[in-house]
Chain A
Amino acid sequence: MCCEQAVFQPRQVVHRVRNVIAIYCAVLFWGGVPGAMRAEEGQPTAASADIEFFEKKIRPLLAAKCYSCHSRRAKKLQGSLQVDSHAALLAGGDSGPAIVPGKPEQSLLIAAVQYAPDAQFEMPPQGKLADHEIAALTEWVRRGAPFPGGAALPAESPGKIDFTEARQFWSFVPVQKQSLPDLEQADWPRQRIDHFVLAAMERQGLRPSPEIARAELLRRVTFDLTGLPPTPAEVAAFVQDPSPRAYETVVERLLKSPHFGERWARVWLDLARYTDRTASWLYSTGQAHLYRDWVVQAMNEDMPYDKFVHRQLATDFMPETGPEDVPALGFLGLSPNYWKELQLPSEIIKVIVADEWEERIDAVSRTFLGLTVACARCHDHKFDAITMKDYYALAGVFASCRIKERPTIDEALYAPVRQALLEITKREASIAELKKKKPLPQAEIDALTAEIAAFRNDTPHFDTPLASAVVEESLHVERKGKTMQSGTKLVYQSQPQDLQLFIRGNPNRLGEVVPRRFLTVLSTTDQPVPFKTGSGRLELAQAITTDGAALASRVLVNRIWLAHFGRGLVTTPSNFGQSGQRPSHPKLLNDLAARFIAGGWSLKQLHREIVLSATYRQASRDDGSRSETDPDNIWLARMPRTRLSVEAWRDAMLAVSGDLDRTLGGPSVSLTDTANQRRTLYGTIHRREMSTMLLTHDFPDPTAHSPQRIATTTTLQGLYALNGPLVLARSAALARRLLAAQLTSDQQRIALAYELLFARRPTDRETQLGIEFLGETGSADRANVWSQYAHVLLASNEFLFVN
């Protein structure tokens, strides 16, 4: 089912082409006895000779070869085409009129039966008709295609969508601050959130869990807000802080930490299918990390979410941002693109390009709106009020921009660099040629090399980083020569384009022109205003946060909730449509979303409210009663015990062993390199060759939007915990740190390890087990045994899980 196929690999693209072609090669085959061969249906205007010709040669042929797919009695009408009346032939199907009476050379039907080289179809698909049959059909059309019989027209297309009704769907209706529910345990709430959560709990007969111990709370909130463990000093300070606002102080400190942005950028990058590298044969541009760093900075600055959306889709249209903000466009600029073999016919390349546009629509609509708009490429959405026209209205936007690298300075300033790059390329080509000569013309090579160096050194702004971005250029896929076999050329034009609807998703079968505009169901009228400025990216971005504000805000609030609680209020975070789940706490989601907008779309405020809530401060320990009543913890009468993401796990190993490099930003570094001590966020993500470590630990496929991570436990993870080079290296480093500490006994070292890793002191039994394990070893073995011990602690569940 196309709806299910989110990603098309090149192989599958070919498939898709075949699929699409096959679909419009609507089948004509043998259909038994013709149903209507009655003389009384005779068309008075047709000459009797023509009628005889038709009844003898044409009607039986159509009935035998075409009717089973192209007539009123076809079980499934193919291509919306009926060939069982004159009127139906003129009305045609998805591809337009089947015949032009008197003009066989202009008639699709004739081209199809001729299996003409550039025909859209070859009909009947199971085999070409006999020559005399083709000749008869041609002659018949030449005679004006007389067709005795009634003027049966194809049935009307299925019912139209009632958008007014569709706008009443729960996720589309305006968000509204809710009145607080009545509670039994009215002294429990600390934040508005808590009123709604507790009301739901009380309805379910549940009671909230007690508040978690301070040290555990600190470990939880520090990981949650920064992706890193708290230091023993931070734990001690918090535990001993007598102030009633001690926790608030901690939360503010963490929200201000630069590591906050690193942690939450990664959440966004899963949605944005961020990658540093892509397959070598695919076009890739710019320095991907500039986008990653831009997201980190946006999170740290608490950029209002609406601006965050606008800038990622259209910062180049916004007067308040300059070229330094171009990396924001990486959301689009790093979109996966598919291999286009330009030797192939343009018909095939058009499908690949159409698949790319679909990918953009999928990523943008699911990320920002929680809607699966890509489902409407071939037909109106099966569940949601999204039409094919809506799809092509958005596709036109992406068809009007091109993935290209852009400088982070003014184009005018950068122009000389472009010139210099051209000159350098020329000289590099010359050098390559010269190197083939014998004897080697070293002097010439040296001269050119010097010139290249001069260009590099003397051109101002030469080293300006280029961001992965988009520019305003529309793509037109055209035939290179006259025939299909001549291959394809890609033509870029500065003018934006409205797309013609692709009938059944096939770019080779064009329907009406659809102006670029926003989704109908999210607009205030059934005729949304077309976009006017360039491709329409800015208008699209603005529509998402104005007309689409209610939905966009619900979706975003739910994503943040999901990241904190391990379960969304809506459990299908990127599908807020009919086939998605309904919210467990509808009023809470409504209230949060409304206040999120009213409060200026501040993400940090949202985080603050969540982590300060009584809900969030509950213990995860359960006596069994709550998990029995509510095994999936829908009603949040306890906090879930959560497992660290692979990033946080690796970062924590580096942090507790004292080697974490806390530098922010910059180009990615390979994760296979054990000398890499930077945060995992900066590890190289490669769409084609994923790091084994990430692959083994539930890291999502960076080729497609990933709504949420799914934690698995596998033997391969077990092997990594035992033998992974990183784990072994970190164990040695942690052992070194423990041994180097100014401590007098192994008991104290064990205590330090527990404080570093688990934010607590060991129990006597734990200390004793450690001492027994370490045994009485000579100094030579000491480092080794401590490494073994550290390894156990790093591999432990307590280190990986957060209470």
Chain B
Amino acid sequence: MQPVLANLLSRRNLLRQSAAIPGMLGATAFLSQQSLAETVAGATPAGCHFAPRAKRVIHLFMNGGPFHGDLFDPKPALAKYAGQRPSGTDLVTERPTGGLLASPYRFQPCGESGVPVSELLPYLRRHIDDICVLRSVHADNPNHGPALLQMNNGTILPTRPSMGAWFLYGLGTENEDLPGYVVLCPGKPVRFSILWNSAFLPASCQGTYINHSSIDPEKMIPHLRNKKWNQQTQQRQLHLLRQLDAEVQRRNGQDQAFETRIRSMETAFRMQFRASDAFDLNQESQRTRDEYGKGHFANGCLLARRLVERGVRFVQVYYGNSQPWDTHSNHNETVPNLCRAIDQPIASLLADLKQRGLLEDTLIIWGGEFGRTPTSENGNGRDHNHHGFSMWLAGGGVRGGMTWGETDEFGFKAVQDRMHVHDVHATILHLLGLDHERLTYHQAGRDFRLTDVHGNVVQQILA
């Protein structure tokens, strides 16, 4: 903590802030949980339910939906039955598809574990022993909007908090000077800000969206600089703001919206100094920049590392604007380019985190909102497939070098050890030390959860 911030983060202020922001344990690490529980109405006291394996999360989001059969789930039967539609493949997806379309990409067993990875990911292959491939994930809806919502918010309804908001609600942030939940996207994914909203959770839990098309911190973050007042002046101003606000609340009663907004200004104040540092990729050595490679996604990965290193709880890196992985046509022409853009950056991110000792308590999630069909759409494309697809986890408490679950012989449907998105969420929360059944928020007459009334922790993949 910088000394200048000391008075903003006084115990008294923290108490008052945390009263308005239930469960923000990160912000209230100095306080007993009990005092928090006493001050908070309507919310179950949160915080870690057991020892966490991961303290922060990076979610690499392949928006549009990658085809698992090209990358992590080899299906030789596709070539054998190419053009045909054997029984068992008559599943409904978004659009009608035709016969099976073989993946032209070769797999080989990698690492000591021998888990097969596609030739499309030559760099990432080297890290397979740190990666747990979930091959049997499935979701409920084959359309982007609902599927994006389910993957991010646990349900296809646009009115529920995002998982990042749940993380912050449960754990708070480790760095009061930066937003606890940062969403990086060089553009806008479909559904945009609903994917990181806080819904009924405190507004301070929502993600802060940053378009990193340009990597100049002042362009990524509008109004980052004050051209008039220096740090001391701003600090005096915020101090006065708090005092005056306290006067008003003393007379008018407590108002959570007031607290949240003041906090947003205090965070913004600290962000001015910390963000220009945190978001400045030019502070990285040329060697590191080269290792991550070029492109928005590489920059996103490197930014994610800089942010988690500074205690940001959750960073999502969306691959790109709209839905670049949505290969309804010319699939095989597009996928190699997409893979090139992610391969080296992700491999470097894993190596970098490991080298810094961060991988052991940073959870990496990779995946899209769904997978794609093994059958062809109009001959050269692949439709959305929510029946079975791959994601992978690495780092914080995850057993590397393994696969979990299976899809059928064509990769259409998860058949063995099926893992619903709810199970993915339950497992992620578990790794963060949160019991998905106890991380609740009471509103509109009932307790709400990220996993609704579902979800099982997959113990087998825990290290």
Residues of chain A within 8 A of B247, CB atoms compared: 763, 765-766, 769
Question: How many Å lie between the Cα of A624 and that of B377 in the bound state?
Answer: 58
Question: How many Å lie between the Cα of A765 and that of B97 in the bound state?
Answer: 72
Q: Does B31 contact A (CB under 8 A)?
A: no
A124 near B98 (CB under 8 angstroms)?
Answer: yes
Decide: A718 near B95, CB < 8 A? Known: A4-B143, A769-B244.
Answer: no
Q: Does B311 contact A (CB under 8 A)?
A: no
Residues of chain B within 8 A of A27, CB atoms compared: 85, 96-98
Q: Which of B354-380 contact A (CB under 8 A)?
A: 375-379
The contact string, 1 if C-beta is below 8 Å from chain B, for chain A 619-652, is 0011110001001100000000101000000000
A797 near B253 (CB under 8 angstroms)?
Answer: no
A797 near B245 (CB under 8 angstroms)?
Answer: yes
Q: Which of B234-254 contact A (CB under 8 A)?
A: 234, 236-237, 240-241, 243-245, 247-248, 251-253
Residues of chain A within 8 A of B295, CB atoms compared: none
A715 near B96 (CB under 8 angstroms)?
Answer: no
B241 near A712 (CB under 8 angstroms)?
Answer: no
The contact string, 1 if C-beta is below 8 Å from chain B, for chain A 92-131, is 0000000000000000000000000000000011110000
Q: Does B261 contact A (CB under 8 A)?
A: yes
Closest Cβ neighbor of B198 among chain A residues: A712
Q: Does B336 contact A (CB under 8 A)?
A: no
B267 near A715 (CB under 8 angstroms)?
Answer: yes
Q: Does A530 contact B (CB under 8 A)?
A: no
B378 near A722 (CB under 8 angstroms)?
Answer: no
B248 near A797 (CB under 8 angstroms)?
Answer: yes
Of A29, A641, A713, which contacts B84 at CB under 8 A? A29
B85 near A792 (CB under 8 angstroms)?
Answer: no
Determine how close the nearest CB of chain A comes to the CB of B377; give it in whole angstroms: 6
Residues of chain A within 8 A of B241, CB atoms compared: 792, 795-796
Determine how close the nearest CB of chain B comes to the CB of A674; give it in whole angstroms: 12
Q: Does A133 contact B (CB under 8 A)?
A: no
Q: A interface, how many residues as a size bin?
A: 35 or more
A623 near B264 (CB under 8 angstroms)?
Answer: no
Closest Cβ neighbor of A29 among chain B residues: B85
Decide: A23 near B240, CB < 8 A? Known: A75-B90, A126-B379, A718-B265.
Answer: no
Chain B: interface residue total (CB-CB under 8 A): 75
Q: Does B463 contact A (CB under 8 A)?
A: no
Decide: A23 near B95, CB < 8 A? Known: A715-B179, A719-B221, A723-B272.
Answer: yes
Of A68, A713, A723, A797, which contacts B85 at CB under 8 A? A68
Closest Cβ neighbor of A712 among chain B residues: B203
Question: How many Å lie between the Cα of A30 and that of B375 in the bound state?
Answer: 13
Decide: A797 near B264, CB < 8 A? Known: A26-B96, A27-B97.
Answer: no
Q: Which of A755-769 contact B (CB under 8 A)?
A: 763, 765-766, 769
Decide: A721 near B248, CB < 8 A? Known: A5-B145, A631-B42, A788-B236.
Answer: no
Closest Cβ neighbor of B95 among chain A residues: A22
B228 near A728 (CB under 8 angstroms)?
Answer: yes
Q: Does A724 contact B (CB under 8 A)?
A: yes
A25 near B222 (CB under 8 angstroms)?
Answer: no
Question: How many Å lie between the Cα of A125 and that of B99 in the bound state?
Answer: 8
Decide: A623 near B204, CB < 8 A? Known: A15-B328, A722-B265.
Answer: no
B264 near A798 (CB under 8 angstroms)?
Answer: no
Q: Which of B309-351 contact A (CB under 8 A)?
A: 322, 326, 328-329
Decide: A792 near B240, CB < 8 A? Known: A4-B143, A715-B179, A721-B268.
Answer: yes
Q: Does A76 contact B (CB under 8 A)?
A: yes
Summed over the interface, the residue pairs from A and B with CB atoms below 8 Å come to a total of 196
Residues of chain B within 8 A of A23, CB atoms compared: 95-96
Of A4, A631, A713, which contacts B257 at CB under 8 A? A713
Residues of chain B within 8 A of A713, CB atoms compared: 203-204, 257, 260-261, 264
B329 near A797 (CB under 8 angstroms)?
Answer: no
Q: Does A801 contact B (CB under 8 A)?
A: yes
B226 near A722 (CB under 8 angstroms)?
Answer: yes
Determine how close the nearest CB of chain A comes to the CB of B371; give it in whole angstroms: 18
Of B95, B240, B255, which contacts A769 at CB under 8 A? B240
Q: Which of B83-117 contact A (CB under 8 A)?
A: 83-87, 90, 92, 94-99
The contact string, 1 if C-beta is below 8 Å from chain A, for chain B 32-48, is 00000000011000000
A720 near B248 (CB under 8 angstroms)?
Answer: no
B272 near A722 (CB under 8 angstroms)?
Answer: yes
The contact string, 1 if C-beta is below 8 Å from chain B, for chain A 1-23, is 10011000101100100110111
Question: How many Å lie between the Cα of A800 and that of B143 in the bound state?
Answer: 39
Q: Does B50 contact A (CB under 8 A)?
A: no
Best-buried of B143, B244, B251 by chain A (most CB within 10 Å): B244
Of B85, B233, B253, B377, which contacts A622 at CB under 8 A? B253
B377 near A22 (CB under 8 angstroms)?
Answer: yes
Determine how close the nearest CB of chain B comes to the CB of A153; give it in whole angstroms: 23
Residues of A within 8 A of B (CB): 1, 4-5, 9, 11-12, 15, 18-19, 21-23, 25-27, 29-30, 32, 68-69, 75-76, 78, 124-127, 621-624, 628, 631-632, 641, 643, 692, 696, 712-725, 728, 763, 765-766, 769-770, 773, 787-789, 791-793, 795-798, 800-801, 803
User: Which 4 A-B residue pairs are closest in the complex by CB-CB distance?
Assistant: A126-B98, A718-B268, A126-B99, A29-B85
A-B contact list, 11 entries, CB within 8 Å: A19-B94, A29-B98, A68-B90, A76-B92, A127-B99, A623-B253, A712-B206, A713-B261, A718-B265, A787-B228, A797-B248
Known: A22-B96, A718-B271, A796-B244. 13 other contacts (CB 8 A): A12-B322, A18-B328, A25-B378, A75-B90, A127-B379, A712-B193, A719-B222, A763-B247, A773-B236, A788-B229, A791-B229, A796-B248, A797-B248
